[in-house]
Amino acid sequence: MRSEHAYRADVVGSLLRPPYLKEARERHAGGALSDAELKRVEDRAVDEAVALQARTGVAVVTDGEMRRYAYFGHFIDALEGFDKFGGWAIPFRDEAGNELLFQRAVVVSRLRRRRHLCAEEFTYLRARADRPSPRVPHLTTGIRHVRNTRTVAISYRTDRLTGQLETRHALVTIYGCPSCHVIPDAAPQGMVGPTLTSMGRRSYIAGRFPNHEIWMTLWLKEPQQLKPGSAMPNLGVGERDARDMAAYLAKLR
């Protein structure tokens, strides 16, 4: 008689880095490998991570965080104002028991956004995933980690921006909309999607939905649910942020 056992499994998102990727990162840090060469090595590691997850049959695949030096690395790299290794060190031990010191980042000046946190990672992953639910581990852990340094210059919650960043225009910028769209007074001026400079005068959203703030809020929250296969990725926009962004876009005329 065969017994059946049920096992619970969660997709965490981060996978072990292969030895060739760790070696490439060391060579890149030493100046022996160019940015483009490291990118090709990372692409290979992501492809292998996607294939591994596909073979297991999981419904959601990630890029394994192969492009990040740490689980919060994308947050540090996407903003200026950090000393990447200037924080207090955390002691770890390697497989041989030797102590390793991991230097944490620390905020040294006002934080300014360099690029979107994960738009490039998601675009690459989406092109290689053969299932409808590719995901790139996003904001929460990185932001929570940095906030715990007690030196952060801004306060951030995943469902709401506060303080200096609490403007509708800033929300559109922080969520990376300018990476793909032309938006007034925002950079970069992306050309992947349509310009949003006069979004308030348009009749439809994504060529299908009435251009009303209710529909825009839904679109910003779940574009892939409304229009599967759309070039617009799910960016994890919360309800309140989506409403504020929709109100901002409605005023662009």
Question: Tell me, what's the pLDDT at 157?
Answer: 37
Q: How confident is the model at residue 139 (pLDDT cuts 50, 70, 90)?
A: very low
pLDDT of residue 192: 80
User: Is residue 196 pLDDT above 70, yes or no?
Assistant: yes
Q: Do β-strands 79-83 and 106-113 pair in parallel, antiparallel, or remain unpaired?
A: antiparallel
| pLDDT for 89 beyond 80 | no
Which CATH code fits 157-253? 2.60.40.420
Assess whether pLDDT exceeds 60 at residue 107: yes
Tokens encoding 208:
């299908």
**Average pLDDT over every residue of 182-209:** 85
- Domains of the chain, by residue range, sit at 10-153, 157-253
Least confident of 42-46, 122-126, 229-233, 246-250: 122-126
**For position 169, what pLDDT does the model report?**
72
Long-range pairs for 197-204 at CB < 8 Å and ≥24 separation? 197/252, 198/252, 198/253, 199/249, 199/250, 199/252, 200/249, 200/250, 200/251, 200/252, 200/253, 201/253
CATH code of the domain occupying 10-153: 3.20.20.210
Please name which of 117, 107, 127, 213 lies closest in space to residue 173, comparing C-alpha atoms.
117
DSSP state of 192: S
Counting residues of the chain whose pLDDT is more than 70, the rounded percentage is 79
pLDDT tens digits along 214-249: 999 999 999 988 888 888 888 888 888 888 888 889
Q: What CA–CA distances, in Å, run from 236 to 10, 20, 75, 96, 242?
A: 19, 32, 15, 40, 10
40 confidence band (pLDDT: 50, 70, 90): very high
100 forms bridges with which residues in the sheet?
92
CB 249 within 8 A of CB 224: no
Min mean pLDDT across 4-18, 104-118, 176-190 is at: 4-18
25 three-state secondary structure: helix
Most confident listed range (39-53, 70-84, 105-119): 39-53
Residue of higher predicted confidence among 27 and 124:
27
Under a CB-based contact definition with an 8 Å cutoff, are residues 124 and 63 in contact?
yes
pTM over 0.85: no
Burial (CB count <10 Å: 0-12, 13-18, 19+), residue 250: middle
CB of 188 within 8 A of CB of 178?
yes
Q: What is the pLDDT of residues 146-178, one digit of tens each?
A: 433 333 333 333 333 333 334 567 778 777 888
Torsion sign across C-alpha atoms 82, 86, 89, 92 = positive
pLDDT at 121 over 90: no
pLDDT score at 7 = 61
Instruction: Report the C-alpha gap between 67 and 21 in whole angstroms.
Output: 9
What's the whole-number average pLDDT of the chain?
Answer: 77
- Cα angle vertex 200, ends 212, 161, to 5°? 80
